Amino acid sequence: MHSVYIELIVDLGYVGFGLLMLVFVIILSRVLIGIKTRRRNAIFSVLGLGVTVMIAVQNLLDFTIQIPAIAATYAAILGVAFAQSWPSQNRAAGSSR
């Protein structure tokens, strides 16, 4: 049995582990806000949340996130989810931008 969380606590210490988890909580709280407030493209935030839950549960017993291809794919999905969680700006019909 292998736990990424225990390994991170041993490598980073409790403070480092806590700060790392705090970053994920901040990102995921923004993604949750995006799920509740976005009308368009909310599916990306839902996908990011779902993948995060799947990876978090699987890392209790396995080392999946330490495989570079999985880590890169997860980072890309979470990045898109985070970017799409912000409200889009409504532009005027004749705007030059």
pLDDT tens digits, 34-82? 999 987 888 999 999 999 999 999 998 888 899 999 999 999 999 999 9
Number of domains in the chain: 1
Nearest to 74 by CA among 58, 61, 86, 94: 58
pTM of the model: 0.81
pLDDT for the residue 42? 87
| 92 found inside a domain | no
| 26 found inside a domain | yes
| 28 found inside a domain | yes
Give φ, ψ of 15 to 5 degrees. -70, -45
| 30 found inside a domain | yes
Residue 91 has pLDDT above 50, yes or no: no
- 3-class secondary structure, 79: helix
pLDDT tens, 10-45?
999 999 999 999 999 999 999 999 999 987 888 999
Q: Which domain holds residue 69?
A: 4-83
| 44 found inside a domain | yes
Task: State both tokens at 85.
Answer: 């969680």
